[in-house]
Structure 1
Amino acid sequence: MNKIMDFLDVKDRKILYELDFNSRQSNSKIGKKVGLHKNVVNYRIKRMEKNGIISNYYTMIDTFKIGYNSLRFYISFQNVTPEKREEIIAYFVNNKYTWWVGSFEGEYDLAVLIWIKDLHDFYGFWEKTLRKYHSYFQKQKFSLYCQLRVFRHSFLMKDDFKKTDRDKYEITGGGKEVKTDELDFKILELLAVNSRIPTIQIAKKTDSSIDTIINRMKRLEKLDVIQGYRVNINYDKLGYHLFKVNVTLNDYSQRGKIINYIRNNPNLIMIDKAIGYYDLELDFLLKNLNHLRIIMDNLTRVFPKEIKNFAFAHDPIYHKMVYMPEI
């Protein structure tokens, strides 16, 4: 039995579910949804923060709309000592171009996502990287990140969730760039690292009025620059593990059909799409490897002709996760 997941009662799980839906909503609003006074909601949130179940709060920002594309690469190491591996990880973490860095078990060792606004700048960064660490890279796989489809963490509610509530939001590359200014960027920078920061604090830190901040945030939300306010839950403490499943298809035209089938799985939290990598990328939060086998056995049984094969990586160690570029 899971010592912490079993300890959490239905109210705690509902609070986490609501924070996953919108971590910026007030404790009073959450309380009305879960049937608790706002003070009790505050106490339970603080307790989960203290116990390490809640790590932090962040904002999902569609950086495509502010002029940035995202390039992703996976690295398999060779000839590395633990010290050299940590040095390479630190190199990527401390670079202003990177926004997500994580170590994995399985198909690859390290995943790095970077912002691209100027291809020439990235080329210089990658040339420098290869001069320093090329001999330690056994494999390098690149892809252009072009779509992120996010689903609510429905498994928190066990069987008490609506299938119509599964979709959360979608970030898609391309399209028209939204006009933003320095104040917009400052607001986004503050929200990116703490989605629950009070509006009055944002106003003070940006030397603006509260009304100005409220109006700016509403505009950024309306334009879908701000896609959602999230909570970073330490699912390892709840007995869940992230599995990233990379699927190769025989018939790409059936991709949508497969997505429509698997999207209702409450443990599916994300579908990634990238140019130059696998045909279908599925992110699950699961109890164990056997749980993954059950899901994929079912999927390949339903789509035996459509799915060619799949590989997976699991249990990432997050080294960096910031959803706003450094200017």
Structure 2
Amino acid sequence: MIMELDAKDRRILYELDKNARQPLSRIAKKVLLNRESVLYRIKKLFDKGIVRNYLTVINTSMLGFTHYKIYIKFQNINENQEKRFISDLTNNPHITWVASCDGSYSLIFAIKARTITELNDLLKVINNSYWKFIKEQHITTIINANHYYRDYLLNKSGTTERKINWGGNPKNIELDKINIEVLDQLSKNSRVTSVEIASKLGISADAVVNRIKKLQNEGIIQNYMLWPNVSLLEGFYYKVLVKTHSVNTDDEKRLKDYCRNNPNIVYALSCLGDWQFEMDLEVKNISEFREIIRDFSNKFNYILSDCTILSIYMEYKFRFFEKNILKT
């Protein structure tokens, strides 16, 4: 059920989605409230379950990792077995995101690995434990991903500043122990203060600030954003898996421009696998979703082979980095 939010709440959410680490005093000026009122409203948004957490978008491809999506169709699995499966996935530091869905698949998770061998070893552990519940399993490799600010919160469209990128060819930037800890703390909650991080690591707050700036300049930290409960915030969360053909560079640009200019599209991924493109949409109702998909199909019918629609009804984990992935 969608929670009723006034214009102030929606603007606060929008600002946190653009930059979750910006000071509350800055947000207060933008929404014409005092800092205490903004803090109170944010607390209510957490209490109502609209906001799950603050995320730090960490591009782990800069640390040598490639990202994959695993799509699973269940068979003969009961509720307790499914809960245990999901619990094992959420506790795995290599797994970034876990969600249940309706449609052609039952479960999706995102996983990162440094090599194909490491990916195979990670999946082997999962499959050996739960093979009898897996009817189908499809793997896609993420080439690059674009995150877009939730412009629908302000009924905006066509903005050019929405894009946050991650992915690409893996690099091997080395991190010292302190930077690893800084990333780990930020990945748990992107609004953790430099003072709080400093007290845990035994260094000065200024040193933390400087390290964060360096991680941003190196492209390891991309942005700070919200993780909302979409069913309470907007209503419905859909993922569209798009098979394409005969796509050239101009077509790719048009696809990404379309996603950037549509306020309800919040993610767009280029990938290798059974499909070549993914879009994530957050909409008020099925009619709004159909209208967007119809428009998308009309504009890109000349390169579309097929679209598979998944309805995401529950997310269990969303965290870009855990320090334990660097210990294996």
- Classify the TM-score, shorter chain: over 0.9
- Once the two structures are TM-superposed, the CA of residue 172 in structure 1 deviates from its matched residue by 2.4
Q: How does 1:26-175 map to 2 (within 5 A)?
A: 26-158=23-155, 161=156, 163-174=158-169
Shift in Å, 1:318: 1.4
What's the offset of the Cα at 1:266? 0.7
Between the aligned partners of 1:250 and 1:66, the Cα distance in structure 2 is 32
Tell me what 2:207 maps to.
Answer: 212
After superposition, where does 1:224-243 map in structure 2 within 5 Å? Answer: 224-243=219-238
Asked whether the equivalents of residues 66 and 167 of structure 2 are also in contact (C-alpha less than 8 Å), the reply is no
The 8 Å contact of residues 259 and 268 in structure 2, kept in 1 or not, is answered as: no
**Deviation at 1:209?**
0.8
Structure 1: tracts of 5 or more residues without a match: none
CA distance in 2, matches of 1:279, 1:72: 12
Following TM superposition, by how much is the alpha carbon of 1:240 offset from its aligned partner in structure 2, in angstroms? 1.9
| Count of equivalent residues | 322
Q: Which runs of 5+ in 2 are unaligned?
A: none
1:286 alignment counterpart: 283
1:1-40 correspondence to structure 2 within 5 Å? 4-5=3-4, 8-40=5-37
Alignment check: 8 A CA contact 1:70 1:115 kept: yes
Q: Are 1:97 and 1:326, in contact at CA under 8 Å, matched by a contact in 2?
A: no
Compute the displacement of 1:173 (Å): 2.1
Equivalent residue, structure 2, for 1:185: 180
1:198 paired residue number:
193
User: Aligned partners of 1:92, 1:85: CA distance in 2, in Å?
Assistant: 11
Structure 1 distance, partners of 2:43, 2:197, is 22
Q: SS of the counterpart of 2:263?
A: coil
> Which position in structure 2 is the counterpart of 1:267?
264
Name the SS for the 2:203 alignment partner.
coil
- Distance apart, 1:166 and its partner CA: 4.5
Equivalent position amino acid for 2:244 in 1: L
Q: TM-score, normalised by structure 2?
A: 0.92
Are 2:66 and 2:115, in contact at CA under 8 Å, matched by a contact in 1?
A: no
What is the alpha-carbon distance in structure 2 between the residues aligned to residue 221 and residue 174 of structure 1?
A: 18
Rounded to whole Å, the distance in 2 between the matches of 1:115 and 1:261 is 28
> Would you say the 8 A contact 2:66–2:170 is kept in 1?
no
For residues 295-314 of structure 1, the aligned pairs below 5 Å read: 295-314=292-311
- Measured in 1, the distance between the counterparts of 2:170 and 2:121 equals 27
Structure 1 segments of 4+ aligned residues over 4 angstroms from their partners: none
Alignment map for 1:306-325 (pairs within 5 Å): 306-325=303-322
CA distance in 2, matches of 1:274, 1:180: 28
CA distance in 2, matches of 1:249, 1:121: 29
Cα deviation, residue 311, structure 1: 0.8
Q: For the structure 1 residues 140 and 219, does the alpha-carbon distance in structure 2 shift closer, same or farther, using more than 3 Å as the test?
A: same
**Secondary structure class of the residue paired with 1:302:** helix
Question: Residues 243 and 284 of structure 1 are in contact (CA less than 8 Å); yes or no, is this contact kept in structure 2?
Answer: yes
**Cα deviation, residue 58, structure 1:** 1.7
* 1:187-213 deviation per Cα after TM superposition (whole angstroms, max 9, x unaligned): 000000111111111001111111110
Counterpart secondary structure, 1:164 = coil
Task: Tell me the CA shift for residue 162 of structure 1.
Answer: 6.0
Distance 1:189 1:62 in 2: 13
**Take 2:49 and 2:124, find their aligned partners in 1: how far apart are those partners?**
39
Deviation at 1:304, TM superposition (A): 2.7
TM-score (norm 1): 0.92
Residue identity opposite 1:240 in structure 2: G
* Greater alpha carbon shift after TM alignment, 44-53 vs 178-187: 44-53
Superposed CA offset, 1:232-284 (max 9, x none): 22221134211001111233222332332343111010101222231221110
